[in-house]
């Protein structure tokens, strides 16, 4: 069964303050039409728009950017390089400045349909990965067996989960301008229980091995000691050999000495 993916494209407005001035943050998808509104009053007569420090022409059309009669700035088929800070200044008929309003516009690529991959690891853990071909500032949400995942890394595209047996998983990828959900993905993993049990087993095996090694060393020492006590001939032979050497060393050698007298 394949779950139908959901795609949402929208423009998000959010107000923030920088250096005491209110800046409205606007998020929009590439290719969408964006409207940045100027404050309206009965006495408003003229509007001036800037992107950064560059003035945007007040001619009716400038490429894909246009200024509407009510002072609204319209961006059609928005591009990523349209991202930036926009400022509008509103003047009276007498040329007096009435209002200044700031926008920070973010143009983001919407996310594509995510694809789920997984790998069965040891100790009953499984590694799940979620991939998208397209999208800016993407965050991820996981659901296992139709239950949202909680804990660390649940907003990452790479999540390790203890999943023994089989089940289903979905990954939702989203950013400020769109959201997409993967088709329902079936997985099967078999393996051992949680790693804590395996670590306990390994530790127990190490202790048993060390005990066996110590026991073997003790048995070998006892064996050689027992053999030495049963056959003391080596010690006796060594003693005789040493005594013989001493006797030979202390033996006095006699010889005949003749004196010859010359005439």
- Which CATH code is given to the segment(s) 115-195? 2.60.40.10
Rounded to whole angstroms, what are the CA distances from 46 to 19, 66, 68? Answer: 26, 15, 12
Token pair, residue 208, equals: 């048993």
Distance CA 191, CA 130 (A): 23
Distance CA 85, CA 50 (A): 8
pTM: 0.60
Splitting the chain (263 residues) into consecutive groups of 10 residues, what average pLDDT does each group show?
A: 36 49 90 89 76 75 79 91 93 85 95 91 79 94 87 77 78 95 87 50 75 84 74 52 48 48 49
pLDDT score of 62: 61
- Per-residue DSSP letter, 175: -
pLDDT score of 154: 74
Segments making up each domain of the chain, as ranges: 12-108, 115-195
Mention every residue, 6+ apart, whose C-beta is less than 8 A from residue 170: 3, 116, 142, 143, 181, 182, 183, 184, 185
Q: Which residue has the tokens 């500032």?
A: 137
Element containing residue 144 per DSSP (H, E): strand 139-144
137, 160, 190, 131 alpha-carbon torsion, rounded to 10°: 10
12-108 and 115-195 share one fold = yes
CATH topology of domain 12-108: Immunoglobulin-like (2.60.40)
At residue 239, φ and ψ (nearest 5 deg) are: -65, -45
> What does 60-126 look like in DSSP terms, one character per residue?
SEETTEEE-TTS-EEESS--GGG-EEEEEEEEETT--EEEEEEEEEEEEPPP---EEEEEE-GGGEE
């Amino acid at each position: 069964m394949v779950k139908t993916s959901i795609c949402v494209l929208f423009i998000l407005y959010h107000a923030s303050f920088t250096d005491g001035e209110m800046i409205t943050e606007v998020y929009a998808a590439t290719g969408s039409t964006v409207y940045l509104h100027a404050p309206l009053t009965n006495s408003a007569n003229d509007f001036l728009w800037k992107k950064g420090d560059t003035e945007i022409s007040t001619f009716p059309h400038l490429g894909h950017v246009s200024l509407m009669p009510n002072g609204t700035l319209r961006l059609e088929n928005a591009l990523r390089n349209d991202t930036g800070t926009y400022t509008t200044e509103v003047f009276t008929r007498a040329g007096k400045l009435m209002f200044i309003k700031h926008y920070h516009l973010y143009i983001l690529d919407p996310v594509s349909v995510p694809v789920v991959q997984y790998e069965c690891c040891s100790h009953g853990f499984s590694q799940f990965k979620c991939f998208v071909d397209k999208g800016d500032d993407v965050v991820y949400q996981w659901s296992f067996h139709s239950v949202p995942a909680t804990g660390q890394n649940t907003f990452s595209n790479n999540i390790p989960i203890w999943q023994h047996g089989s089940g289903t998983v979905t990954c939702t990828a989203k950013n400020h301008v769109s959201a997409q959900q993967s088709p329902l993905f079936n997985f099967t993993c078999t393996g051992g229980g949680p790693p804590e049990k395996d670590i306990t087993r390994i530790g127990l095996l190490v202790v048993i091995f060390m005990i066996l090694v110590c026991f073997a060393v003790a048995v070998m020492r006892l064996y050689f000691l027992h053999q030495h006590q049963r056959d003391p001939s080596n010690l006796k032979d060594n003693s005789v050999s040493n005594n013989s050497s001493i006797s030979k060393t202390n033996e006095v050698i006699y010889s005949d000495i003749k004196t010859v007298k010359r005439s």
